[in-house]
Amino acid sequence: MPNFPDEGQTEKSAMKKRRWQWTALVLVTLVTLTAGIGIWLSTSTSGLKSLASAVSHISGDNLSFEGLDGALSGSISARTIRFASDDLLVIARDVQLNWQPGELRSGHVTITALSAKEVEIVSPPSSQPKSLPASLELPFSLSLHKLDVGTLRVMNEEGGRPVFVAAELTARLESNGRRHQLSGLRTNLEFGRLIASGQLDGIRPFDLHAEAELAELVNSDFPALETTGSRISAIIKGNLERLNITAEGSGAGLAGKGEAQLQPYGSIFIAGLRLSVSGLDPHVFSADAPAASLTVQADLHEVVAGQLEGGVSVENSAPKPLDQGGLPVLEARAQPILSAGLLQFNDLTLVAAGGGTVSGSLAWQIEEATGSADLIISRIDPARLDTRLRPASLNGKVKLSGDTQNQNAILSLQDRTLRLDAHVVRAGDALTLDKVRLSHGRSQLTGQGKLGLSGPRAFNFEGRLQNFDVSAFVQAPQTSLNAALELTGERPGRNCGFQ
């Protein structure tokens, strides 16, 4: 006889069939719903805004968007994109993104064009060195065919004065996730047009190689500076722990080359410097500066961690007296010590026209903002410094001390017949001549006075002349003056100061 299933078995089979039907229906519904949500997110502006809102919420509002338009599947625009962290703020305005989302299936991000009218980067200065990143790898490979930024500004505080500005910045970027290659970087800086390219490894110590050239140099601050044909080129090698830079340049009568070792994340940024520059004329950069033709040599290296030592020298091939608009110095040399807290020049020697010297040492404590100098004057001829003065052979000492607000100077100079002793103090906006005594044989001037350095710049001087012969000090007729002096008034003209 045939074996028919009983009624219980039939009911169980039907229940199992209904469960699979419901499961299949739920799966189909979920897939359809997911696909629908995916299509809605990727093809509509409302979906894009919802996704951006979710991203902003997940980031704790560190990343925010305003004025979003477009669709995730194609072109996206935003009026403002803002990213904020503890020590960094980035604001991008009028952003436009064109990309190929289909490339995501292969783990590759392809951006055909990314542009922004303005980008501001706010990074407050810090006295503490930053630590090297753990990694600079990307979780995907990337092709950015065209980056275009109208204006890039870097500043220390939001709304503050930019410390760096770049305009019309364009570049291309390729990355396999680990190795990042930047090419075709072009931008206009305040002082010329920069062209650069380079590549960076995303794994410590972040090996780097880059080349850059700054051409078409301009400087609106120094209109007298002729920069036609000027250029500076540099090659950067090493890694982010220690960079080695070689550079050379010419233009505006200058020629120079140099090498530098930089530690972007070290306690001191410059770990070594070798520099040679010729043809430097200070008068080109400031109408008030004397004319000269200077050759500068520097060789500094890190002796102990965080401290540079070495030698610096300056030679002047065209010395002239001050009254002829020149610089009456033949040579200057020193043994500097540089660190984050100290600027010190040991074995400082200035050789003046005529062979006289100023030697000694000076130091500036950076954190305390205090400094001091002890200088020895030997065989200085005032007439070689300024032809309106009488010849002499001055010897003596100068002692300087103070901070950014208050300074103190003590001078004691003499030759066989001439002597000058003076004590000058600057306190805030007042310069006080505490005492002065100038003598030459029987001629003598003594006194004290005060000069305001701001506002009406009122001054006063009280002193005494005894058998004073003006011609003993400057080119003038012979005199023999005896008088009590009392001078008061206000000094017109530009602000002055005593440093």
297 contacts 312 by C-beta, under 8 angstroms: yes
β-partners of residue 307 are 304, 339
Q: Provide the token pair at 84.
A: 């904020």
With beta carbons less than 8 A apart as the criterion, state whether 350 and 360 touch. Answer: no
Residue 14 falls within a domain, yes or no?
A: no
> For residue 383, what are the β-bridge partners?
none
The candidate with the shortest Cα–Cα distance to 410, out of 373, 371, 363, is: 373
Q: Is residue 202 part of a domain?
A: no
- pTM of the full structure: 0.72
Residue 441 placed within a domain: yes
Question: Does residue 493 belong to any structural domain of this protein?
Answer: yes
Number of domains in the chain: 1
For residue 460, is it within any domain?
A: yes
Q: Is residue 459 part of a domain?
A: yes
Domain membership flag for residue 450:
yes
Instruction: Name the residue range of residue 463's domain.
Output: 427-499
3-class DSSP assignment, residue 57: helix
Q: Could you give the CA distance from residue 242 to residue 270 in angstroms, rounded to a whole number?
A: 10
Is residue 19 one of the residues assigned to a domain? no
Per-residue pLDDT of the chain (499 residues; tens, 9 = 90+): 455 455 555 554 544 444 445 444 444 444 444 334 444 444 557 666 766 677 677 767 788 888 888 877 778 888 998 888 878 899 999 999 898 888 878 888 899 999 999 999 998 887 676 789 899 999 899 999 999 999 999 998 888 889 999 999 999 999 999 999 999 999 998 878 999 999 999 999 999 999 999 887 665 555 555 556 678 999 999 999 999 999 998 877 789 999 999 998 887 888 899 999 999 888 877 778 899 999 999 999 988 888 899 999 999 999 999 999 999 999 999 999 998 888 999 999 999 999 999 999 999 998 889 999 999 999 999 999 999 988 889 999 999 999 988 999 999 999 988 899 999 999 888 899 989 999 988 889 999 999 888 878 888 999 998 988 888 888 888 888 888 988 888 876 544 333 2
Phi, psi of 470, rounded to the nearest 5 degrees? -60, -35
**Phi, psi of 286, deg, nearest 5:** -155, 130
